[in-house]
A = this chain, B = another copy of it.
Amino acid sequence: MTAKRSGARSKRPQRISQWSQPAQEPRSEPPLSRERIVATAAELLDAHGVDGLTMRRLADRLGSGVMSLYWHVDNKEDVFDLALDAVLEYRGSPQTVQSQDWRGEVVHMLEDWRASMLRHPWSASLLPRRALGPNILSRLELLSKTLSRAGVADADLNVAIWSLWNYVMGATITRAGFDLSDDDRAAAQKRLEHLSERYPTIERCRLLLDDDWDGAFRKGLGFLLDGLSPK
Protein backbone atom coordinates (compact mmCIF):
# COMPACT_ATOMS: atom_id res chain seq x y z
CA MET A 1 0.00 0.00 0.00
CA THR A 2 2.83 2.34 0.76
CA ALA A 3 6.56 2.36 1.18
CA LYS A 4 7.40 -0.26 3.71
CA ARG A 5 11.03 0.69 3.33
CA SER A 6 12.03 -2.91 2.87
CA GLY A 7 15.32 -1.67 1.49
CA ALA A 8 16.35 -2.17 -2.09
CA ARG A 9 17.34 -5.79 -2.37
CA SER A 10 20.67 -6.21 -4.05
CA LYS A 11 19.82 -9.17 -6.25
CA ARG A 12 21.33 -7.40 -9.22
CA PRO A 13 21.07 -9.17 -12.58
CA GLN A 14 24.75 -8.72 -13.51
CA ARG A 15 24.76 -9.64 -17.14
CA ILE A 16 26.82 -6.96 -18.75
CA SER A 17 28.60 -7.81 -21.94
CA GLN A 18 31.85 -5.94 -22.24
CA TRP A 19 31.04 -3.73 -25.17
CA SER A 20 27.27 -3.49 -25.48
CA GLN A 21 27.21 -1.27 -22.38
CA PRO A 22 28.44 2.05 -23.75
CA ALA A 23 30.56 2.97 -20.72
CA GLN A 24 27.67 4.88 -19.25
CA GLU A 25 26.53 3.53 -15.94
CA PRO A 26 28.67 0.62 -14.83
CA ARG A 27 26.46 -0.04 -11.82
CA SER A 28 23.72 -2.42 -12.78
CA GLU A 29 20.49 -1.34 -11.18
CA PRO A 30 18.13 -3.59 -9.28
CA PRO A 31 14.70 -3.73 -10.83
CA LEU A 32 12.37 -0.82 -10.39
CA SER A 33 9.88 -1.06 -7.57
CA ARG A 34 7.57 1.14 -5.62
CA GLU A 35 9.88 0.89 -2.63
CA ARG A 36 12.98 1.91 -4.56
CA ILE A 37 11.14 4.79 -6.17
CA VAL A 38 9.93 6.14 -2.86
CA ALA A 39 13.28 5.73 -1.14
CA THR A 40 15.07 7.48 -3.97
CA ALA A 41 12.48 10.23 -4.02
CA ALA A 42 13.15 10.85 -0.34
CA GLU A 43 16.89 11.05 -1.05
CA LEU A 44 16.27 13.56 -3.79
CA LEU A 45 13.99 15.59 -1.54
CA ASP A 46 16.58 15.56 1.24
CA ALA A 47 19.21 16.76 -1.18
CA HIS A 48 17.31 19.31 -3.25
CA GLY A 49 14.05 20.15 -1.53
CA VAL A 50 10.52 20.01 -2.87
CA ASP A 51 11.28 21.84 -6.09
CA GLY A 52 14.24 19.57 -6.72
CA LEU A 53 12.12 16.48 -7.15
CA THR A 54 11.40 15.86 -10.78
CA MET A 55 10.13 12.74 -12.42
CA ARG A 56 12.97 13.01 -14.89
CA ARG A 57 15.63 13.38 -12.22
CA LEU A 58 14.06 10.61 -10.22
CA ALA A 59 14.20 8.29 -13.18
CA ASP A 60 17.76 9.34 -13.89
CA ARG A 61 18.90 8.47 -10.42
CA LEU A 62 17.13 5.15 -10.66
CA GLY A 63 18.76 4.40 -13.97
CA SER A 64 15.48 4.01 -15.79
CA GLY A 65 13.43 5.83 -18.36
CA VAL A 66 11.04 8.46 -17.07
CA MET A 67 7.93 6.69 -18.16
CA SER A 68 8.92 3.48 -16.43
CA LEU A 69 8.05 5.16 -13.15
CA TYR A 70 4.45 5.42 -14.18
CA TRP A 71 4.03 1.70 -14.12
CA HIS A 72 4.64 1.66 -10.37
CA VAL A 73 3.20 5.01 -9.44
CA ASP A 74 0.12 6.96 -10.48
CA ASN A 75 1.73 10.35 -10.90
CA LYS A 76 3.93 12.87 -9.14
CA GLU A 77 1.33 13.56 -6.48
CA ASP A 78 1.44 9.91 -5.64
CA VAL A 79 5.20 10.07 -5.18
CA PHE A 80 4.81 12.97 -2.78
CA ASP A 81 2.14 11.17 -0.78
CA LEU A 82 4.24 8.06 -0.49
CA ALA A 83 7.41 9.96 0.42
CA LEU A 84 5.61 11.85 3.17
CA ASP A 85 4.22 8.75 4.74
CA ALA A 86 7.50 6.87 4.38
CA VAL A 87 9.23 9.42 6.60
CA LEU A 88 6.67 8.91 9.33
CA GLU A 89 7.19 5.25 10.08
CA TYR A 90 7.05 4.91 13.84
CA ARG A 91 9.67 2.82 15.53
CA GLY A 92 8.53 3.31 19.08
CA SER A 93 8.76 0.96 22.01
CA PRO A 94 7.49 -2.22 20.39
CA GLN A 95 5.49 -3.57 23.31
CA THR A 96 4.28 -0.68 25.39
CA VAL A 97 3.89 -1.81 28.93
CA GLN A 98 0.78 -0.48 30.60
CA SER A 99 2.65 2.56 31.80
CA GLN A 100 1.18 4.86 34.39
CA ASP A 101 2.88 7.86 32.83
CA TRP A 102 0.53 8.54 29.96
CA ARG A 103 1.65 12.16 29.75
CA GLY A 104 5.24 11.13 29.30
CA GLU A 105 4.20 8.69 26.61
CA VAL A 106 2.24 11.30 24.70
CA VAL A 107 5.05 13.83 24.94
CA HIS A 108 7.51 11.24 23.71
CA MET A 109 5.33 10.23 20.79
CA LEU A 110 4.73 13.77 19.68
CA GLU A 111 8.35 14.83 20.06
CA ASP A 112 9.31 11.86 17.93
CA TRP A 113 6.69 12.85 15.37
CA ARG A 114 8.06 16.35 15.14
CA ALA A 115 11.67 15.16 15.08
CA SER A 116 10.96 12.68 12.30
CA MET A 117 9.58 15.41 10.13
CA LEU A 118 12.31 17.91 10.93
CA ARG A 119 14.88 15.37 9.85
CA HIS A 120 13.31 15.80 6.41
CA PRO A 121 12.10 19.40 6.34
CA TRP A 122 10.39 18.98 2.98
CA SER A 123 7.88 16.69 4.71
CA ALA A 124 6.49 19.68 6.61
CA SER A 125 5.81 21.64 3.46
CA LEU A 126 4.18 18.56 1.97
CA LEU A 127 1.64 18.27 4.76
CA PRO A 128 -1.12 20.48 3.36
CA ARG A 129 -3.54 18.60 1.16
CA ARG A 130 -1.81 15.25 1.51
CA ALA A 131 -3.70 12.11 2.29
CA LEU A 132 -3.36 10.23 5.54
CA GLY A 133 -1.05 7.33 4.82
CA PRO A 134 -0.86 4.19 6.92
CA ASN A 135 2.06 5.40 8.99
CA ILE A 136 0.29 8.61 9.90
CA LEU A 137 -2.81 6.63 10.77
CA SER A 138 -0.76 4.29 12.94
CA ARG A 139 0.59 7.19 14.90
CA LEU A 140 -2.88 8.63 15.30
CA GLU A 141 -4.15 5.27 16.44
CA LEU A 142 -1.42 4.95 19.05
CA LEU A 143 -2.11 8.46 20.27
CA SER A 144 -5.82 7.74 20.51
CA LYS A 145 -5.25 4.54 22.41
CA THR A 146 -2.95 6.22 24.90
CA LEU A 147 -5.35 9.06 25.55
CA SER A 148 -8.25 6.69 25.86
CA ARG A 149 -6.38 4.57 28.39
CA ALA A 150 -5.51 7.73 30.29
CA GLY A 151 -9.17 8.32 30.90
CA VAL A 152 -10.19 10.74 28.17
CA ALA A 153 -13.84 10.05 27.43
CA ASP A 154 -14.74 8.95 23.92
CA ALA A 155 -16.83 12.09 23.52
CA ASP A 156 -13.76 14.26 24.09
CA LEU A 157 -11.31 12.09 22.26
CA ASN A 158 -11.65 13.66 18.84
CA VAL A 159 -11.09 17.16 20.14
CA ALA A 160 -8.06 16.01 22.11
CA ILE A 161 -6.52 14.19 19.17
CA TRP A 162 -7.09 16.98 16.67
CA SER A 163 -5.81 19.58 19.12
CA LEU A 164 -2.57 17.72 19.62
CA TRP A 165 -2.27 17.02 15.91
CA ASN A 166 -2.86 20.67 15.09
CA TYR A 167 -0.28 21.77 17.58
CA VAL A 168 2.36 19.35 16.37
CA MET A 169 1.77 20.05 12.69
CA GLY A 170 1.74 23.80 13.20
CA ALA A 171 4.92 23.67 15.26
CA THR A 172 6.68 21.46 12.75
CA ILE A 173 5.72 23.49 9.73
CA THR A 174 6.68 26.71 11.44
CA ARG A 175 9.98 25.39 12.65
CA ALA A 176 10.86 23.92 9.28
CA GLY A 177 9.98 27.21 7.63
CA PHE A 178 12.14 29.19 9.99
CA ASP A 179 15.12 26.98 9.50
CA LEU A 180 16.54 29.55 7.18
CA SER A 181 19.96 30.82 6.50
CA ASP A 182 21.53 33.27 8.89
CA ASP A 183 21.17 35.88 6.20
CA ASP A 184 17.43 35.55 6.30
CA ARG A 185 17.47 35.77 10.05
CA ALA A 186 19.54 38.91 9.95
CA ALA A 187 17.23 40.41 7.35
CA ALA A 188 14.16 39.68 9.44
CA GLN A 189 15.87 41.16 12.46
CA LYS A 190 16.76 44.28 10.54
CA ARG A 191 13.26 44.72 9.24
CA LEU A 192 11.89 44.36 12.72
CA GLU A 193 14.31 46.86 14.16
CA HIS A 194 13.32 49.32 11.53
CA LEU A 195 9.66 48.75 12.23
CA SER A 196 9.88 48.47 15.97
CA GLU A 197 7.39 51.28 16.40
CA ARG A 198 4.90 49.24 14.43
CA TYR A 199 5.44 45.95 16.26
CA PRO A 200 6.67 47.03 19.69
CA THR A 201 5.54 43.96 21.61
CA ILE A 202 7.05 41.52 19.17
CA GLU A 203 10.20 43.54 19.28
CA ARG A 204 10.26 43.68 23.06
CA CYS A 205 9.90 39.95 23.63
CA ARG A 206 12.18 39.22 20.66
CA LEU A 207 9.67 36.79 19.21
CA LEU A 208 11.54 36.28 15.98
CA LEU A 209 14.93 35.85 17.57
CA ASP A 210 14.16 33.26 20.20
CA ASP A 211 15.62 30.06 18.86
CA ASP A 212 14.83 27.62 21.64
CA TRP A 213 12.37 25.85 19.41
CA ASP A 214 12.58 22.54 21.22
CA GLY A 215 11.97 24.12 24.60
CA ALA A 216 9.06 26.18 23.33
CA PHE A 217 7.54 23.11 21.73
CA ARG A 218 7.76 21.12 24.95
CA LYS A 219 6.41 23.93 27.12
CA GLY A 220 3.47 24.71 24.87
CA LEU A 221 2.66 21.02 24.59
CA GLY A 222 2.66 20.90 28.38
CA PHE A 223 0.15 23.72 28.54
CA LEU A 224 -2.08 22.01 26.02
CA LEU A 225 -1.93 18.75 27.93
CA ASP A 226 -2.79 20.61 31.13
CA GLY A 227 -5.97 21.76 29.46
CA LEU A 228 -6.74 18.37 27.94
CA SER A 229 -6.14 16.27 31.01
CA PRO A 230 -9.17 14.35 32.21
CA LYS A 231 -10.44 15.92 35.40
A78 at the interface (CB under 8 A from B): no
Which of A138, A163, A208 gathers most chain B CB within 10 Å?
Answer: A163
Q: How far is the CA of A176 from the CA of B134 in the complex (A)?
A: 20
In the bound complex, do residue B173 and residue A128 qualify as a contact, i.e. CB atoms below 8 Å apart? yes
Which of A125, A134, A170, A207 gathers most chain B CB within 10 Å?
Answer: A170
What residues of chain B lie closer than 8 Å to A219, measured between beta carbons? 159, 163
A220 closest partner in B (C-beta): B163
What residues of chain B lie closer than 8 Å to A125, measured between beta carbons? 128-129
Chain A 186-210 per-residue mask, 1 if CB under 8 angstroms from chain B, else 0 = 0010000001001111101111101
In the bound complex, do residue A223 and residue B141 qualify as a contact, i.e. CB atoms below 8 Å apart? no
Q: How many residues of A contact B (CB 8 A)?
A: 58
Which of A169, A171, A195, A227 gathers most chain B CB within 10 Å?
Answer: A227
Which of A130, A167, A220 gathers most chain B CB within 10 Å?
Answer: A220
In the bound complex, do residue A177 and residue B141 qualify as a contact, i.e. CB atoms below 8 Å apart? no
Which 7 A-B residue pairings sit nearest by Cβ, starting from the closest? A223-B227, A170-B170, A166-B170, A163-B220, A125-B128, A144-B201, A226-B227
A-B contact pairs, 5 of them (CB 8 A): A128-B176, A140-B199, A162-B207, A163-B223, A166-B174
